[in-house]
Structure 1
Amino acid sequence: MGIHYWEQENIFELRTERSSYVFGVNEQGILQHLYWGEPVEARECAPLLAIRTHSSFDNDLNSDQAEYGGRGGGNYAEPCLHVHFSDGVRDLKLRYAGCELVSENRISIRLSDDHYPLRVELGYTAIPEVDLIERDVRIFNGGDTPVRVIQAMAASWTLPPLRDYRLTHVTGRWAGEYQLRSQPLSEGRRVLESRRGFTGPHSNPWFAVDNGRADEETGKVWFGALAWSGNWKITAEKSNFGRLHVLGGINDFDGAFELGPGAVYSSPVFTGGYVSGGFGAMSRNLHLYQSRYILPGGRVRKVLYNSWEATGFAVNVQEQKKLARQAARLGVERFVVDDGWFGARNSDMAGLGDWTVNPEKFPLGLQELIDEVKGFGMDFGLWVEPESVNPDSDLYRQHPDWVYQFPNREGTLLRNQLMLNLGHPEVKAFVLEFMTELLDSYDISFIKWDMNRTVTEPGAFPLAEHAGDSVWIRHVEHLYEIWAELRQRFPQVEFETCAGGGARIDLGMLRYADQAWISDNTDALDRLLIQEGFCYAYSPSVMMCWVTESPHGMNGRSLPLAFRFHSAMMGGLGIGADIGKWSDAELSEAARFVAQYKKIRHVIAEGSLYRLASVREGGLAAGQYVSPDRQETVVFAFRQAQHFGYSEQRITLRGLDPDAVYSMEAAEGLTQTLWHGSTLMNLGLPLSLSGDYASRMIHLQRQPAR
């Protein structure tokens, strides 16, 4: 495993536990992709470096196989790198210029233009145990004049020839994020992207490709995820010769920038992988990768209560105290005050940007409530939205030039607010200063960082001075720097990423966020669909899920408390209902579910997820979590509706030790409490879910060997 270079053949291989990724240098000096899939003898791929031609009307077949192709010559495919030189030349010819083995699992490949002093370094890092490869690029301008960069992709992934290609991805909208979609790919381009300034709810920078026949447990799947929280683009392009290339990086939409003399551009990381065990194996590899290499993590996901749905903007210390008392009765471990605690914030019309405690709502400051919350044994958390401002605010009146704007244009109001130009050094300093003062002044253990609008009028003031910059890139870079600085200064504070729900979740943001709010839609049935799509790419350990009211305001649907809790227990458990109105019976039932969750949350956070049945494919949904040592497993099962009377259903489990015996507490309809792993994985576990919106959680523990 690791990285190998065979100098005589000019062949490179990145070998993981279950895959080979092979490329080499052909006689034209082009770094050419050769193979990606099951392990092979890499040197035997050398004949694939042969120069190929077809006709004067088709794409240059040698450039078509380039690991990192530039815009120029006879290459008409989507380019990885497109630049304009200062003399007007728009042609780029990248040739192999050497390599450096940085470590056992990382190599840097140097490419340079034939004429201009432009150098490109391709970084490859193998992650052997999860069969993943991290790729990134650095672009150096070694000349004495600026170079205009039109497009700079982080990587291009070349898939092996398949008779058919099927693309799987997610799409959606506010309150309907992470909806799975699949479609065949014919010749041409299919683009997934965001142009809105953040990752976006309408698509997500993750893809999977198979031959159209892979399923949850079987089939070859190639996939990737881009670590960028701003405008991004992933392009899947199938050539007329049957090859598929998937490129990804920062979006070129309104994104051109100048690379000055001696300057360096560093791309985000684009991680790719191959599995032969279907979409389930893909997800488990991505989850393990995130747990070991991406997430700050390492802390127990505390049961959270958020007061937003109970109070809205009508926040005051006495009502919050009452809710905190009720939350403590349920066993909640973290109490969070949402929007409305600061400035003149009595609606979404005013006050955003004025981050001082409202003296009418909190006459003694936040400390009075924090002391109460801590006295109940809970941590205290707070909601903020640092990147936006209301025009009706002291901040905007003092600094109208801090928002994104173009001369002679009136800014678009979305949710009655404008967007701060976080790329402006003074704005970045302001955000760091007020967040530091807030966390220094109060015993706050948790921050929910929201962003409730897209970027519009993306002009930087004064406009002429920033003509060579990309405000889209600078905003995200400064966002990362702020989060990194806050995490360093306040290591005891946990951070949640939120953007009107799940619009800023990607492998870039998850390097700084402990958890993620994946949707403002908390209807428990809708959430099963949203959570399923989310977990194709992202770990359930970061996925926050709330129990809220019934009937639910989104769909008017009434769901049992058990169904709502079981749906929310599949990630990080939160409660967002107006628990001040719950009956004693509801409070007691909820407290039992909270206690159950605390017993099994380590399996949810650390275990492997197996999707056993999808609500997309029928009335039954089921997911299973298996602890790393296979000592425990937790199964959640849901029936949407019952038809035509009783029929026994069995659900076959995954990931257990077939020779071990697992025990479970007696449950309704299940008298047997001891099961062999082989029985559970082959005959299956019987389910007796009767009626509409029935659900069950089953916890099995391995018995000591006799």
Structure 2
Amino acid sequence: MISHDPATRLFHIRTASMSYVFRAGDYLQNLYWGKALAAEDLADLPEASFHSSFDYDTLLEREEYGCWTGRSYSEPCLAIASERGRHLAMRFAGHEISEEREGIQTLKIFLSGNEGAISVTLGYEVHAAYDIVSRSATVTNQGVPVTLENVNSAALHLPELSHYSLRYLTGKWAGEFQMTDMPVETGAFTMQSKRGITGPHFNPCFALSEAATEREGEVWFGLLAYSGNWKITVEKTIFNNVKVVGGVNDFDFAYPLGQGESFTTPAFLFGYAEAGFGSMSRKLHRFERDRVLAASAKPRRILYNSWEATAFSVDVREQKKLADKAAKMGVELFVVDDGWFGERHSDKAGLGDWHANREKFPNGLGELIAHVNGLGMDFGIWVEPEAVNPDSELYRKHPDWIYRFDGSEPLQLRNQYVLNITKPPVRRYILEMLHSLLRSGNIRFLKWDMNRSISDLGEGGGTKDRRLWVEHVHALYEIWSELRRDHPDVELETCAGGGGRIDLGILRYAAQCWPSDNTDPFDRLFIQHGFTQFYAPQIMMCWVTDTPSGAGKANRSIAYKFHSAMCGGLGIGADINRLSPEEAAEYKRHILQYKEIRETILHGDLFRLRPPGESGLTAVEYVGPSGDEIVVLAFLHAQQYGDSCPRLKLQGLSENARYELAGDGKRYHGSTLMHYGLPIELKGDFDSALFVLRRTER
């Protein structure tokens, strides 16, 4: 619910358990964000606070959308430059509140400055049932040409507490989504990407708390829905004002606005949870399932990807054999990876030539697609449309289609360049190629990869080059949007050298994502633990592969690999040609078991019972949408002689209900399972177990 009191000039955004309050005076002043309260009691809060001539108004640090004026010294949301200077004094010019529709209500705040030449519309989209609000800003120029030098989506101000701790996700290739906690000290801490993609080194999300745990304590959190260069800054001033500013990165950024032109920022979503990080995650997971992924809410299919079996040596005969074996195991989606097109026999050639190799597929892809469909499976295929090898028909024909700085040789990474998809001919080529590919046969899945950071971002020099970072993302969204519109039965997976492009911007179009190229089942527990802090298990693809064979690590059992991969969307990437009949039968048993519990894992509530790294035992629990089925996955990493496994205290059950443990028929009261615990018997290093309980009495 959104309310405005003209007498006190207070705006109050109220959700299920959160209040967000600001005041429209000489400027928009944020007053409160946290547990729900009566906003009218905040009307008497001071509008200014003088400390000294050096800090004439410390409450300017709590400006709702601060513009650079030369008078405020904290991180601004907006800065411009024009022939008339850089000063930008914005004033409140009105508001508009919509009626609630389908659980969403919106507030627009209108700001005007520079004698009406510049206007800013602040948008607040309120999802009250989820305790989540989405903010964005639209800057419009009605005067002389200006250049946006910095344009953020929002500033979020925290209540005044004695101290805060920041939780964020960091990492690198093969080690993405590592959860990190650090104290917030006086100063500014910045998370960002300058690589043209979301990036593996930071993910655009944050959580702040005073002393929260998984189950207790207040948490303030946010995510930026953007897939390009981004920046989130957490700033604490000496006056104990803590704020978070997020939006498009101002690194190498300049965006010209002519008269009548506008720029809209990506959405910055934020929310509040009062029962720890677990509560935060479940709010986000429900929101993502219902609001972000609604258009691609099909059941997640168990897929097989042939990369580890064949690498670049793809041919129709071998793929058919793999498909036969995958189908017998119960696989539902067969995906051909890199190597099917052009002269693609290694990563040194062929990228950009998106036609089936005639030696590998003499009759085109249709022969394999028909075979896969005849086995009862859908067919999917790998593409990397944003890149091109120098050794390709496409590059030889269009060397001017790549990003390059004038006067210098562009950088080759992984033997490839990045296509300038902001150019209409390039964009048309990619779309026509993808339309043609998808219409050539019954293809139901695209694994869209991007195996390098963007570099040499230029096409002519000057300010125009500095807007290409944003325009590349807009062009990408345009392509994905058209694909979703014209091919509604085709699902897209976002992948960028592992987890390099995962955010709520691209997830408006993608059905699922690839969190990491590291498929070691033990390493994945850490990656999955960080990932699920902010993103739903339904989005996260987890594969059973041959890793860690040859990686200098101890072998993991098939059961351990499957249990780790069952924590999200299940996929198979192992070379199934190598499996013995007994091993193939074990694969089939695990796949069948996953199908029986898939709904609970992908659409239920996740409870992280024991995080990896704190002890030798890790465990996660999923409570199904109806509450009738509970799935527990437990992993013992190492065991010392004489040690026994502790009981697992479950969460989210009904105290007085009774639950039957599948397999042995033993029944427990919910209160016993939550307060005394579920007994488990794991022994030795890298042991694991799956438990399924079903409610029998309410």
CA distance in 2, matches of 1:685, 1:439: 49
Aligned-residue offset at 1:163: 0.5
Check whether the contact 1:195–1:232 (CA below 8 A) recurs between aligned residues. Answer: yes
Q: Does 1:217 align with 2:215?
A: yes
- Residue equivalent to 2:120: 120
CA distance in 2, matches of 1:93, 1:44: 29
- Residue equivalent to 2:389: 390
Q: Report Cα offsets for 1:2-35 as digits up to 9, x if no partner.
A: 1011110000000001011000123xx2010001
CA distance in 2, matches of 1:275, 1:443: 44
Matches within 5 A, 1:25-36: 25-26=24-25, 29-36=26-33
Letter in 1 for 2:592: A
Tell me, what secondary structure is at the counterpart of 1:615?
Answer: coil
- Residue equivalent to 1:311: 310
Letter in 1 for 2:161: L
Tell me, what secondary structure is at the counterpart of 1:454?
Answer: coil
Decide which of 56, 65, 76 is 1:79's aligned counterpart.
76
Aligned-residue offset at 1:648: 4.3
CA distance in 1, matches of 2:374, 2:292: 34
CA distance in 1, matches of 2:48, 2:585: 73
Letter in 2 for 1:66: E
Structure 1 residues 356 and 111: alpha-carbon distance in aligned structure 2, compared to 1, 3 A threshold: same
Unaligned 5+ runs, structure 1 = none
Check whether the contact 1:291–1:297 (CA below 8 A) recurs between aligned residues. Answer: no
Decide which of 569, 573, 585 is 2:570's aligned counterpart.
573
- Residue equivalent to 1:505: 502
- Residue equivalent to 1:523: 520
Q: If the length of structure 1 is used for normalisation, what is the TM-score? A: 0.97
Letter in 1 for 2:219: V
CA distance in 1, matches of 2:439, 2:74: 53
CA distance in 2, matches of 1:524, 1:229: 28
Aligned-residue offset at 1:551: 3.8
- Residue equivalent to 1:92: 88
Q: Does 1:57 align with 2:57?
A: no
Aligned-residue offset at 1:117: 1.0
Q: Report Cα offsets for 1:43-80 as digits up to 9, x if no partner.
A: 11112242221112137423211100011132011100
Q: Report Cα offsets for 1:624-657 as digits up to 9, x if no partner.
A: 1111221111100000011122424101001111
Matches within 5 A, 1:240-639: 240-295=238-293, 296-460=295-459, 462-463=460-461, 467=464, 470-639=467-636
Q: Report Cα offsets for 1:282-313 as digits up to 9, x if no partner.
A: 00011111011111332111110000011100
Aligned-residue offset at 1:616: 1.8
CA distance in 2, matches of 1:136, 1:185: 25
Tell me, what secondary structure is at the counterpart of 1:357?
Answer: coil
Aligned-residue offset at 1:323: 0.7
Structure 1 residues 46 and 660: alpha-carbon distance in aligned structure 2, compared to 1, 3 A threshold: same
Comparing 602-611 and 696-705, the one that deviates more: 696-705
Aligned-residue offset at 1:102: 2.6
CA distance in 2, matches of 1:32, 1:564: 52
Decide which of 681, 687, 697 is 1:694's aligned counterpart.
687
CA distance in 1, matches of 2:399, 2:45: 59
- Residue equivalent to 1:673: 666
CA distance in 2, matches of 1:368, 1:477: 36
Aligned-residue offset at 1:553: 4.5
CA distance in 2, matches of 1:378, 1:628: 27
Letter in 2 for 1:132: I
Tell me, what secondary structure is at the counterpart of 1:686?
Answer: coil
Q: CA RMSD in A?
A: 1.2
CA distance in 1, matches of 2:550, 2:503: 28
CA distance in 1, matches of 2:627, 2:372: 37
Letter in 1 for 2:200: P
CA distance in 1, matches of 2:186, 2:202: 22
- Residue equivalent to 2:99: 103
Tell me, what secondary structure is at the counterpart of 1:617?
Answer: coil
Letter in 1 for 2:611: S
CA distance in 2, matches of 1:43, 1:441: 62
CA distance in 1, matches of 2:255, 2:548: 50
Q: Report Cα offsets for 1:440-495 as digits up to 9, x if no partner.
A: 111101100000000111002x446x727610101110111111101111111111
Letter in 2 for 1:137: A
Q: Report Cα offsets for 1:149-206 as digits up to 9, x if no partner.
A: 0000001000001111111001000110000111111111000000000000000000
Check whether the contact 2:342–2:357 (CA below 8 A) recurs between aligned residues. Answer: yes
Check whether the contact 1:34–1:49 (CA below 8 A) recurs between aligned residues. Answer: no
Check whether the contact 1:257–1:468 (CA below 8 A) recurs between aligned residues. Answer: no
Structure 1 residues 60 and 259: alpha-carbon distance in aligned structure 2, compared to 1, 3 A threshold: farther
Check whether the contact 1:626–1:655 (CA below 8 A) recurs between aligned residues. Answer: yes
Number of residue pairs matched by the alignment: 693
- Residue equivalent to 1:663: 660
Q: Does 1:142 align with 2:142?
A: yes
Runs of 4+ in 1 over 4 A off after TM superposition: none
Letter in 2 for 1:279: F
Check whether the contact 1:136–1:267 (CA below 8 A) recurs between aligned residues. Answer: yes
Check whether the contact 1:95–1:114 (CA below 8 A) recurs between aligned residues. Answer: no
CA distance in 1, matches of 2:66, 2:98: 23
Tell me, what secondary structure is at the counterpart of 1:48?
Answer: coil
Tell me, what secondary structure is at the counterpart of 1:47?
Answer: coil
CA distance in 2, matches of 1:553, 1:100: 62
Letter in 1 for 2:227: S
CA distance in 2, matches of 1:133, 1:316: 50
Aligned-residue offset at 1:116: 5.2
Check whether the contact 1:73–1:93 (CA below 8 A) recurs between aligned residues. Answer: no
Check whether the contact 2:458–2:468 (CA below 8 A) recurs between aligned residues. Answer: yes
Matches within 5 A, 1:176-215: 176-211=175-210, 213-215=211-213
Check whether the contact 1:59–1:76 (CA below 8 A) recurs between aligned residues. Answer: no
- Residue equivalent to 1:131: 131
CA distance in 1, matches of 2:502, 2:465: 28
CA distance in 1, matches of 2:510, 2:465: 31
- Residue equivalent to 2:639: 642
- Residue equivalent to 2:160: 161
Comparing 423-432 and 197-206, the one that deviates more: 423-432
Check whether the contact 1:547–1:574 (CA below 8 A) recurs between aligned residues. Answer: yes
CA distance in 1, matches of 2:207, 2:443: 40
Check whether the contact 1:59–1:77 (CA below 8 A) recurs between aligned residues. Answer: no
CA distance in 2, matches of 1:430, 1:293: 32
Aligned-residue offset at 1:601: 0.4
Tell me, what secondary structure is at the counterpart of 2:391?
Answer: coil
Structure 1 residues 32 and 546: alpha-carbon distance in aligned structure 2, compared to 1, 3 A threshold: same
Q: If the length of structure 2 is used for normalisation, what is the TM-score? A: 0.98
CA distance in 1, matches of 2:360, 2:70: 66
Structure 1 residues 468 and 197: alpha-carbon distance in aligned structure 2, compared to 1, 3 A threshold: closer
CA distance in 2, matches of 1:427, 1:648: 58
CA distance in 1, matches of 2:366, 2:430: 22
Unaligned 5+ runs, structure 2 = none
